Amino acid sequence: MTNPPLHRRLDSDKKPIIIAGPCSIESQSQFLKTLKGLDLSKVDYIRGGIWKPRTRPGSFEGMGEVAFEWVKEVQKELGFKFATEVASTEHVDIALKNGAGLLWIGARTTVNPFNVQEIAEALRGVDLPVFVKNPINPDLSLWKGALERLLKCDVKNLGAIHRGFQTFQQSKYRNTPLWQIPMELKSEFPDLPLLCDPSHIGGKRSLIAELSQRAMDLDFDGLMVETHIDPDNALSDNAQQLTPDAFGLLLDSLIFRNHTSKNEDFNNQLDIIREQIDQADREILEAIATRLSLVEKIGTYKKDNNVAIFQISRWKEILHSRPEWAKSLNLDPEFIRELYRHIHQQSVRIQTSVFNKEQDKQPND
């Protein structure tokens, strides 16, 4: 689905959208002290976990519905719009009854289309912002599918939150960013507000600033950052929460980028460079076309000589040599290794097609 009928970006076109607050609401005192430390004029929504779905039982799973009473008491004193996660239709009913101003569906829920559908039905026609976090695993279709299910239930005030992905890659992050996936989502849903959750991507306070700036550099629409008055003693996600003071310093340090520029000289120079990129892309595609025509030729040669398609020694040689060539050209070897994996997959498909054509020509027994 392209260009879904989203009719607005939250309450305005303001950028960046800032959501901040504790991972979990542990007590009325903890919640109040955290919020008093924040400059609420710079925060659009206060987040707080009422329920905390955990990977394993026995850990802190939130205070439940009683926490809404604390939220309402603190709202009377400070005034703010409240955002929380819902993982079931019961959560939706309780959150709506207690005046939540924004809801989000978490990563563990997004992976299950049955759960998402039930939540979408419970939210049918609800006119408040509903955000969807990416699924735990790097599956763009699941993320898109969750948004589409909500749209079909007439939930149009939608947004998405990028919180990183669990992968088998070695990484300094709790959840690998894989920035290309949210960028692909944005390209298909251009009017969709896209926020970054650097707390869950990083998993460590020391990484939140660089991740937040990266999101701004990529033209994300805002941030959701976990903040706590005493992070080291938080009952959940203690390593990734910022103190209110640290959060204030983070906001002050961020460089917010313009989506476009009105500078005529800049735009003219940009057009010239883009023309050069277009020419380079044409040359790349011509080279790929030449390579694949040679692949088809070698496939025919293998078939005629009764030789198997996959030659592991040759593949190992390519996988070793091309990244080495990349180094001499100041290219990222891992990028080139991944590129050649895709090229090799296409090469195998082409040679397989050559073999199948010959089999199709043979008469039936």
Q: What is the pLDDT of residues 15-51, one digit of tens each?
A: 799 999 999 999 999 999 999 999 999 999 999 999 9
Altogether, the residues listed in the chain come to a count of 365
User: Percent of the chain beyond pLDDT 70?
Assistant: 93
User: Does residue 217 carry a pLDDT above 50?
Assistant: yes
Question: What six digits make up the tokens of 129?
Answer: 């912002």
Judgement on whether residues 214 and 136 belong to the same structural domain of the protein: yes
Judgement on whether residues 233 and 280 belong to the same structural domain of the protein: no
The residue out of 226, 253, 280 marking a domain boundary is: 253
Domain assignment present for 208: yes
The residue out of 233, 253, 273 marking a domain boundary is: 253
Judgement on whether residues 224 and 284 belong to the same structural domain of the protein: no
Judgement on whether residues 236 and 272 belong to the same structural domain of the protein: no
Domain range for 226: 17-253
Domain assignment present for 4: no
Judgement on whether residues 242 and 126 belong to the same structural domain of the protein: yes
Domain assignment present for 100: yes
Question: What six digits make up the tokens of 288?
Answer: 């790929």
255-301 tens-digit pLDDT = 988 878 889 999 999 999 999 999 999 999 999 999 999 999 999 99
CATH code at 120? 3.20.20.70
Please state, in angstroms and rounded to a whole number, the distance separating the CA atoms of residues 146 and 161: 12
Judgement on whether residues 302 and 234 belong to the same structural domain of the protein: no
What is the value of pTM for the model shown?
Answer: 0.84
Judgement on whether residues 249 and 277 belong to the same structural domain of the protein: no
Burial pattern 6-28, b for ≥16 Cβ within 10 A else e, equals beebbeeeebbbbbbbbbbbbeb
Residues sharing a CB contact under 8 Å with residue 293, sequence separation 6 or more, in sequence order: none
CATH code at 284? 1.20.59.10
Judgement on whether residues 123 and 208 belong to the same structural domain of the protein: yes
Q: Comparing 34-38, 76-80, 169-173, 283-287, which segment has the lowest mean pLDDT?
A: 169-173
Please state, in angstroms and rounded to a whole number, the distance separating the CA atoms of residues 318 and 337: 9
Please give the pLDDT value at position 170.
80
Structural domain total, the chain: 2
- Answer with the residue of higher pLDDT: 56 or 50: 50
Question: What six digits make up the tokens of 352?
Answer: 């397989």
